[in-house]
Chain A
C-alpha cells in the first residue's frame, strides 16, 4: 500500500466513520425542533381536547413541543393526505381515529391507502359508544328496541354525528346483525345530535360516556347498552354481553406517522408517549375531561388495526349487498 492509497483508504475510512457518527448523533438528537401534529377535524372536538392535554405534558419527555394544527375538511381526508404527503422526517404526525384511518377507503375512492402510508405511533385511548333512549321511551332493553325496529322498519329515527362516523358505524353494525331498520338522521357532530335527542326530534341517540353519563344520572335518558369490555353502569349490559361483537363500537384515538419515518424516531416517540401516559398530571387532566387512558403501544395497535380493517370491509360489503337486494 503506497502513500496515496493509504491516504485514500484513510479518507474513505474517515468518511464512513463520519457518516456513522452523524447517523448516531441524528438518532440521539431527534427531535431537534418542534413537531407538528395535524388533527383532521374541527377545533373543539374530543381529539382537540385530548391533544391539548398530552401536548401540554409531552415536552417533559421529548425536550421539544408538539404543536397542534387543526386541518379539517373532506371528512378528515384533507389532514390525512397532508400528513401522508409531508416529509417522513419525524416532524409531522397525525392524530386521527380508526374510522378515518381504516373505514373510509371501503366507502369511496381515496388517493392514498392509510395502511400503506401511515404507521401507528400510539393509541392514546378509546371511547365506547352508548345507546340511549329518552327516559319516557317504551323500550327498556336493546332487544325490545331492535324487535320494534325489525317489525316496523324505518319508523324509529336515530340521531348520529355524521355518516360513517364513530356513532353511525356501531349502530349500523347492530342493525345489520339484527336485520332491523331505522331512519338515520345525520347531524354535524355529537353536540347537535344530542340536542335532537333531548328535544325529542329522534327516538334513539348514540353518545360517548362524557355526554351520556350526566344525562342518565339526571334521569333524562335511559342507557340500553354500551360498548367496551366493562359495563359503564352496573345495570346496563355491554354489547358483547348481548351477543354483538363490540369491537366496532370503540372509537380509537391514534397517533400516526408517515410510514417511511426512520424507525429510531418512531421508537423515540413511542417511548415519550408511554411516559406521558404514566404522568400524573396527564392522568388527572384526562380524568377531568372524562376520557380514559387505555394506552396501547404502536406495534400492538397495528395488529388491532388490521383486524379492524377486515371487519370494516365486511360491514361495508354487507351493507351494500343489502342495498342491492332491496333495489
Chain B
C-alpha cells in the first residue's frame, strides 16, 4: 500500500497531468458558469478527449472538469440567483444578497476558498481512510438511504422556513410535484392527465431558475428608480484575510458534514450543502444575518458541497460502482482507458489509483490559482448597466431552461414557476422546502419502495433485525429534530426581541 502511494506521487506530479488538469478546470468553470449547462453535460461532451490521452492525463483532466464545473455553477447562483443544480441552491440564500450589496467579488472569492479548502480536506481524508470509507459505503443500501433522506427532509423543513407549518406544507407540495410523471418503481403514469408531455415529469432546472432567478428579476425591476444612480460600480472589494479567518470554523464544520454525507451514494451534494448551511446558521451567534447576505452562509454551503467530492469517488475506485451521473461518466473514462474498475483495481493498479487520488489533491491548488484569475472577469458582470443586465438575465434564464432538455414545454414550466416564486415571495412563503421536497422526494420514494420489496412484507422486523444503521438513524432523528426546532424558535424570539429598541445587546452572545 505504502509503496503504491509513493509511486503514485511520482506519477501524479508529471507536467502533462498538471497541464491537462488545469485545462479541465478552466473548461469546467467556463461551462459550469453557463446556466443550463451542467457539470454532467460538460463531462459527457469532453469525455472522448480523454480516450486519446494517457490514463493519468485523461482521468485527471475529467476530474478537473468536474471540480471546475461545481465551482462554476455557484457563479450564476451568486451573481444572478440562478442555481444550475440542486447543489448550488444553498448558495443562493446569501450569494445574490451579497451581490446586491456590491460584494459579489467577496462572495465568489469566499466560494472559491471554501470550495478549495473543503475539497482538499475531504480528499486527504479520503486517501487516509479509503478502506473504512469503502466498507461504510457498502453498508448504505436503500433502507439506510431512505432513513437519511427522511431525516434530511425534516431538518430542512425545521431549519429553513420561518414557520414550520408553512415549511412542511411547501415541502409536501414539492414532493407532490415530483410525483407527476412516471412512477419510478412500477413504471405507471400518474397525475399526467393523459398528457404525454408530463410523462417524464417536471424538469428540475426550469423549476430552479423559475423560483430563484425570475422573482429576483421581477423584484429588481420594481426598485429600478431607487438604484438608477448605481449603474456604474467597481468590480467590488476583495475578500480580506480577517473575513476568511472568521469563517474557518464554519468551513471545517461543513467539510466534516460534506465528507460524511459524501459516503452516501447518490444524494451527496444537495444534502451536504443544506446540512452545512443549517449547521452554520444554528451554531452562529448572529443567525439573523443568514439569508441577508452573510459571507459565512456562502462558505458553509460551498465547503460542504465540495467536500462530497472525495468520498464519492471511493465506491468507484474500490468497487467500480458509480454513485451518481458524474462518477458514471468517470467509470466510462476508466473503462475506455483499459482499466477495469472493480475490487481488483487497487491491487493491480495501486500506484495508478493513488496517483489519481493525489492528482485530486493537487487539483485543488491549481483550482485556487485558476479561480483567482477568472473571478475578476465574472465580477465585471455586475458593472453592466442594470437596464442591460436584467434583460440579459431573462435571456439566460430562458436559454438555460431550454438547453437542459431542448424541450419548448420547459419554457412554459419556467414561466409558471417564475410566477409561483414571485407570488410565494410576496406572501412570505419560502420556496426552498418545496425545491428540496422535489429533489429528495423521489429518492425517498424509490428507496422506501426498495426497502419494502427487500423486507418481503415484514417491514419493522426487517429494519430492526437486518438494518441496525437505518433503525438507529430513525430512532435518533426525533431528538435531533426537536433540538433544532426549539433552537430555531428560541433564536427567532431573540431576534424579534433585538429588533425592538428596548432589547439589550447581551442576548446576542447567548449560544
- A and B physically associate: yes
Tell me which of A53, A75, A183, A220 contacts B453 (CB under 8 A): A183
- Is A218 positioned at the interface, with any CB of B under 8 Å from its CB? yes
B73 contacts chain A at the CB level, 8 A cutoff: no
Whether A48 is near chain B, meaning CB under 8 Å from some CB there, is yes
Closest CB in chain A relative to B136 CB, distance in Å: 11
Taking A49-B335, A69-B406, A75-B182 as contacts, is the C-beta distance between A211 and B320 under 8 angstroms?
yes
Chain A residues near B319 (CB, 8 Å)?
194-195, 198
Q: A289 contacts which chain B residues (CB < 8 A)?
A: 332, 335-336
Counting CB contacts under 8 A, is B47 at the interface? yes
Q: Interface digits, B148-184 against A, CB 8 Å rule (1 contact, 0 not)?
A: 0000000000000000000000000000000001101
Q: Is the CB of B331 within 8 A of A163?
A: no
Assess whether A288 is in contact with B338, with CB atoms less than 8 Å apart.
yes
Contacts of B47 in A (CB 8 A): 52
Could you tell me if A44 and B321 are in contact, using CB atoms closer than 8 angstroms? no
Beta-carbon contact of B344 and A74 below 8 Å = no
In the complex, chain B residues whose CB is within 8 Å of the CB of A55: 48
In the assembled complex, the CB of A61 is this many whole angstroms from the nearest CB of chain B, namely 17
Size class of the contact patch on chain A: 35 or more
Of A43, A75, A184, which is within 8 A of B325 by CB?
Answer: A43
Contacting B at CB under 8 A, from A279-325, are 285, 288-290
- Most central of A43, A111, A188 by chain B CB within 10 Å: A43
Residues of A contacting B328 with CB < 8 Å? Answer: 42-45, 189, 191
The verdict on A81 contacting chain B, using a C-beta distance below 8 Å, is yes
Residues on the B chain within 8 Å of A211, using CB: 320
The residue on B at minimum CB distance from A73 is B200
Q: Which of B51, B142, B321, B454 makes the CB contact (< 8 A) with A191?
A: B321
Binds A, one of B186-194, B226-234, B376-384, B413-421: B186-194
Q: Quick one: which of B300-349 are within 8 Å of A by CB? A: 315, 319-323, 325-326, 328-329, 331-332, 335-338, 340, 342-344
Q: In the bound complex, what is the Cα–Cα distance between A248 and B47 (angstroms)?
A: 31
Q: Give residues 448-465 of B contacting A (CB, 8 Å).
A: 449-450, 453-454, 456
Q: Contact between A48 and B454 (Cβ–Cβ < 8 Å)?
A: no
Contacts of A223 in B (CB 8 A): none
CB-CB under 8 A for A185 and B453, given A44-B328, A75-B182? yes
**A-chain residues with CB within 8 Å of residue B338 when the two chains form the complex:** 288
A107-142 contacts to B, CB under 8 A, are 107-108, 111
Chain A residues, Cβ within 8 Å of B405: 71, 73, 78
- Contact yes or no, B321 A195, CB < 8 A: yes
Q: Which chain A positions have C-beta within 8 A of B68?
A: none
Please, what's the 1-or-0 string for A198-218, where 1 marks a CB less than 8 Å from any CB in chain B? 110110000000110011011
> Is B141 part of the binding interface, using a Cβ–Cβ cutoff of 8 Å?
yes
Query: Do the beta carbons of B185 and A163 come within 8 Å of each other?
Result: yes
Distance in Å: Cβ of B432 to nearest Cβ of chain A: 25
Could you say which of B41, B188, B332, B342 contacts A108, with CB atoms under 8 Å apart? Answer: B188
A187 at interface, CB cutoff 8 A: yes
Cβ B344 vs Cβ A44 within 8 A: no
A289 to B196, alpha carbons, bound, how many Å?
35
Asked if B286 is an interface residue, CB under 8 A from chain A, the answer is no
B51 touches A56 (CB 8 A): yes
Give the total of B residues in contact with A, Cβ under 8 Å.
54
Q: Are B453 and A52 in contact (CB under 8 A)?
A: no
Contacts known (A195-B265, A214-B342); A73 close to B201, Cβ less than 8 A: yes
Complex contact B406–A43 (CB within 8 A): no
Q: Which residues from chain B contact A220 at a C-beta distance below 8 Å?
A: 343
Cβ contacts under 8 Å, A45 to chain B = 328
Chain A residues, CB < 8 A from B200: 72-74, 77-78
- B187–A157 CB distance below 8 A: no
**B40 within 8 Å of A (CB atoms):** yes
Report the minimal beta-carbon distance from A279 to chain B, rounded to whole angstroms. Answer: 14
Which residues of B in the span 335-370 have a Cβ within 8 Å of any Cβ on A?
Answer: 335-338, 340, 342-344
Indicate if A175 sits at the interface (CB-CB under 8 A).
no
- Assembly CA distance A195 to B201 (angstroms): 27
Nearest chain B residue, comparing its CB with the CB of A220: B343
Q: Is A12 an interface residue (CB 8 A)?
A: no
Cβ-neighbour of B141 out of A56, A154, A199 (below 8 A): A199
Among residues of B, the one whose C-beta sits closest to the C-beta of A194 is B321
25 contacts between A and B (CB under 8 A): A43-B41, A44-B325, A44-B331, A48-B332, A52-B51, A69-B406, A74-B182, A77-B196, A78-B405, A81-B196, A154-B456, A157-B456, A185-B453, A186-B453, A191-B331, A194-B321, A195-B141, A195-B319, A201-B141, A201-B142, A214-B344, A215-B343, A288-B335, A288-B338, A289-B332
- Given A191-B321, A194-B321, 6 extra CB contacts under 8 A: A74-B181, A77-B199, A81-B196, A195-B141, A201-B454, A285-B336
On A, residues with C-beta under 8 Å from B are 42-45, 48-49, 52-53, 55-56, 68-75, 77-78, 81-82, 107-108, 111, 154-155, 157, 163-164, 183-189, 191-192, 194-196, 198-199, 201-202, 210-211, 214-215, 217-218, 220, 285, 288-290
